Structure 1
Amino acid sequence: MWRHIVSNFLTVLIVIMVGLAGLAAWAKKQYEGPGPLAQAVCLRVEQGSNFTRVSQDLLAQGAIRSGYIFRAGADYAGKSKDLKFGSYLVAPGASMQEIVDEITAGVPSSCGTELNLRIGVLNTQLILRELDPGSGQYVEKAKFDPAAEARPEGFDAAASKADVRTRVTVAEGVTSWQVVEGLKAADFLAGEVKAVPPEGSLAPDSYEVKRGSDRQKLIDEMEARQGAILAAAWEARASGLPYETPEEALVMASIVEKETGVPGERGRVASVFVNRLEQGMKLQTDPAVIYGVTKGQGILGRGLRQSELRRETPYNTYVIEGLPPTPICNPGRAAIEAALNPDSTRYLFFVADGTGGHVFAQTLEEHNRNVAKWREIEAQQKASGAAN
């Protein structure tokens, strides 16, 4: 009888063990396999939160099927104590394992709210925006010029949350003075800038920064990036260019940057000025004259006067020969590459065409006809504006 009892017990034990093994395999498959989420969501992990609370949020958003398996999997992986606060984009079909890996990795938040200081040619703006998980696009919540406008109601409370990402974006064509002045408006940065950097030495780009980052260190990073971009472009430059140094090429790039905002035109615009240099012609570029008037401190806000076009300054390219002594802005990578690999053309002139671009000409006669057409377009635009 005892033999029968022992036999039955062993049978039951084996069944239980097999059942437990099957359950473990099923749970592992649930943990590692694709999740039920059909559309991306943003998971916010608060400071001081725990896996129980996170699993409840994920269940509520339909991102996981079992809170217990989610917590048990994190515990088995040794990550249950590694939870990092922040906002995380959970992709459609993300497995529990993938979600655990992301929220314990300590990487910057991948969704949620972002505060961006955008330093532009015309103004500097603080932009608060939030990622829409469904579309993957950012939606602006507030935007204002901190130097000229009052802060929108509720802006500070929304922008000061611990997991808000902070970013500084420098537009192509801004001056070094504008960058320094713009950084002063970023109250999420700290420290002073030692001095206004040399014109052209800062790389227009988007810089993700931590709250409390040092302004001078950010400037140093901008200079390092621009130096690397210029060095690489100089190394890959076309032969026979009228520049003796990378610094001269940077001056040309800054002129190209200010003369056109149309990407496809940069090479042609550069070719015009290269052709002029090679033929001993004056560059006659208005942005350089304007820089001589403003010194890069703000925008002129009006047309150039005849007296300014006649006045001899180091930047008046209607008077001086060759390039001005320094860049007139901080050019972007594309303008630098255009200056060092310009299109091969015979163009010597260009003028606005009324669409935001330019029309190019090889001869003065052709250019004068293009200028006359532009004057007609300009007059029509003014008349239309007055009528409206």
Structure 2
Amino acid sequence: MWRALASNALTILVVGLFLTGGVILWGQSQFKSEGPLETAICLQVKRGSNMTEVSQQLEEDGAISSAVIFRMGADYTDKAGQLKAGSFLVHEGSSMEQIIDKITSSGASTCGSEIEYRIGVTRLQTRVRELDPATLDFVEIANFEVGVDETPAEYTEKRQDADTRYRVSLAEGVTSWQVVEALKGVDALTGDVTEVPAEGMLAPDSYDVRPGDDRVALLQNMQEKQQLRINAVWESRQDGLPISSPEEMLILASIIEKETGVPHERGQVASVFVNRLEKGMRLQTDPTVIYGVTKGQGVLGRGLRQSELRRATPWNTYVIDGLPPTPIANPGLASLQAAVAPEETQYVFFVADGTGGHAFAETLDEHNRNVAKWREIEAERNGSNN
């Protein structure tokens, strides 16, 4: 009898172990396999949340099949205590394993709200956007000019949301003084700026920031990025250029930046200035004259006067030979590259063509004809505006 009981107990134990193993394998399969989510969602993990709360939310949203398996998987992978606060984009079909990796790997939000401060030549524009998980497109919910428009309620609300992401975007061609003045209007940043960075030494780009970040530290980041670009581009320069240093490259790039906003023209504009320098001709470019008038502090807001074109300043390239002593703005990477790799042309003149671009010429006669066409376009426009 005892032998029979022992045999039955052993049988029950084996069956139990077999069933337990089967349950574990099934749970692992559920944890790693494609999830039930049919449309992407933005999962918000608030500060102080735990895996229990997150798993229940995911189950309610239809992103996982079992909150219990989700928590067991988090414990098994030793990630239960690594939960990060933020807004995380959960794609359709994401497995529990993939979701846990996403919400424990970093606190960088991948969806939700974003506030972007865009520093342009004439204004500081603030945009409030929100990612639509279904389309992965940002939907703009507020847009205003700092110091001009009334601050919308949507901006104030998102500023109070701990999961909101922030960016400062710097446009090409903005002067260092303009950048510093604009940063003063970014209320998400802190700290006083006592010194304006050297002209041309701030890299136009997009910078992730956090509320409370220091303005001086952000400017330092911009300077470091620009220096890296300068170093790399200078190393890639063509042979035989009429510029002898990275500083001269930066000056030329800033002039190219201010002369055209048409990307495919940069190489041609660069060729004009390189050809003029090689021939010993004056650059005769209006943006340098304007910089001599404004010193980069604000926008001129009107056309140049004849007296200003004749006035001797260190930046008036109608009066001085060669390059001015400093850059006249902060050039972007494309303009830096154009300065050291201009197109091979014989152009020494260019003028606006009425389309936003320019008409280029090799001879003065051809240039004068282009100028006459531009004057006709100007006259027609002025006539239609009266």
Please classify the TM superposition score into its range, dividing by the shorter chain length: over 0.9
Residue 169 (structure 1) aligned with residue 169 (structure 2): yes
Identity of aligned residues (%): 58
Residue 251 (structure 1) aligns with? 251
Residue 81 (structure 1) aligns with? 81
Residue 346 (structure 2) aligns with? 346
Residue 217 (structure 1) aligns with? 217
| Preserved CA contact (<8 Å) 2:275 2:348 | yes
* Deviation (angstroms), 1:379: 3.0
Cα distance in 1 between the residues matched to 2:216 and 2:154: 30
* Deviation (angstroms), 1:285: 0.7
Residue 33 (structure 1) aligns with? 33
Superposition misfits of 4+ residues, deviation over 6 angstroms: none
Residue 335 (structure 1) aligned with residue 335 (structure 2): yes
CA-to-aligned-CA distance 1:123-142 (integer Å, 9 cap, x gap): 01122211122222222221
Cα distance in 1 between the residues matched to 2:307 and 2:359: 27
Cα distance in 1 between the residues matched to 2:56 and 2:375: 66
* Deviation (angstroms), 1:22: 1.2
* Deviation (angstroms), 1:88: 0.6
Task: Using structure 2 for the length normalisation, give the TM-score.
Answer: 0.96
Aligned-residue CA RMSD (Å)? 1.5
Residue 288 (structure 1) aligns with? 288
* Deviation (angstroms), 1:375: 2.3
Cα distance in 2 between the residues matched to 1:33 and 1:383: 69
Specify the SS of the correspondent of 2:105: coil
| Preserved CA contact (<8 Å) 1:360 1:367 | yes
What stretches of structure 2 of length at least 5 have no aligned partner? none
Gap change, CA 1:25 and 1:274, over 3 Å in 2: same
The residue type paired with residue 318 of structure 1 is Y
Q: How does 1:1-388 map to 2 (within 5 A)?
A: 1-386=1-386
* Deviation (angstroms), 1:385: 4.4
Cα distance in 1 between the residues matched to 2:379 and 2:75: 73
CA-to-aligned-CA distance 1:131-187 (integer Å, 9 cap, x gap): 122222222221222222221124212222112112111111000001101111112
What stretches of structure 1 of length at least 5 have no aligned partner? none
Cα distance in 2 between the residues matched to 1:298 and 1:93: 52
Cα distance in 1 between the residues matched to 2:283 and 2:121: 23
Of the structure 1 ranges 254-263 and 152-161, higher mean CA displacement relative to structure 2 is found in 152-161
CA-to-aligned-CA distance 1:54-89 (integer Å, 9 cap, x gap): 122212322211111111111111221221111011
Of the structure 1 ranges 303-312 and 171-180, higher mean CA displacement relative to structure 2 is found in 303-312
* Deviation (angstroms), 1:113: 1.1
* Deviation (angstroms), 1:7: 2.4
* Deviation (angstroms), 1:3: 2.9
CA-to-aligned-CA distance 1:22-45 (integer Å, 9 cap, x gap): 111111111112222233211101
Cα distance in 2 between the residues matched to 1:350 and 1:215: 39
| Preserved CA contact (<8 Å) 2:142 2:154 | no
Specify the SS of the correspondent of 1:93: coil
Of the structure 1 ranges 249-258 and 15-24, higher mean CA displacement relative to structure 2 is found in 15-24
Cα distance in 2 between the residues matched to 1:113 and 1:193: 28
Of the structure 1 ranges 4-13 and 156-165, higher mean CA displacement relative to structure 2 is found in 4-13
The residue type paired with residue 88 of structure 1 is F
Gap change, CA 1:63 and 1:379, over 3 Å in 2: farther
Of the structure 1 ranges 219-228 and 57-66, higher mean CA displacement relative to structure 2 is found in 57-66
| Preserved CA contact (<8 Å) 1:202 1:223 | yes
| Preserved CA contact (<8 Å) 1:128 1:159 | no
* Deviation (angstroms), 1:235: 1.0
Cα distance in 2 between the residues matched to 1:225 and 1:267: 23
Gap change, CA 1:385 and 1:27, over 3 Å in 2: farther
Of the structure 1 ranges 371-380 and 164-173, higher mean CA displacement relative to structure 2 is found in 371-380
* Deviation (angstroms), 1:94: 1.6
Cα distance in 2 between the residues matched to 1:381 and 1:237: 41
| Preserved CA contact (<8 Å) 1:41 1:133 | yes
Question: How many correspondences in the alignment?
Answer: 386
* Deviation (angstroms), 1:384: 4.1
| Preserved CA contact (<8 Å) 2:85 2:107 | no
Cα distance in 1 between the residues matched to 2:56 and 2:361: 67
Cα distance in 2 between the residues matched to 1:3 and 1:384: 110
Task: Using structure 1 for the length normalisation, give the TM-score.
Answer: 0.96
The residue type paired with residue 24 of structure 1 is I
Of the structure 1 ranges 367-376 and 377-386, higher mean CA displacement relative to structure 2 is found in 377-386
* Deviation (angstroms), 1:320: 1.4
Cα distance in 2 between the residues matched to 1:61 and 1:203: 42
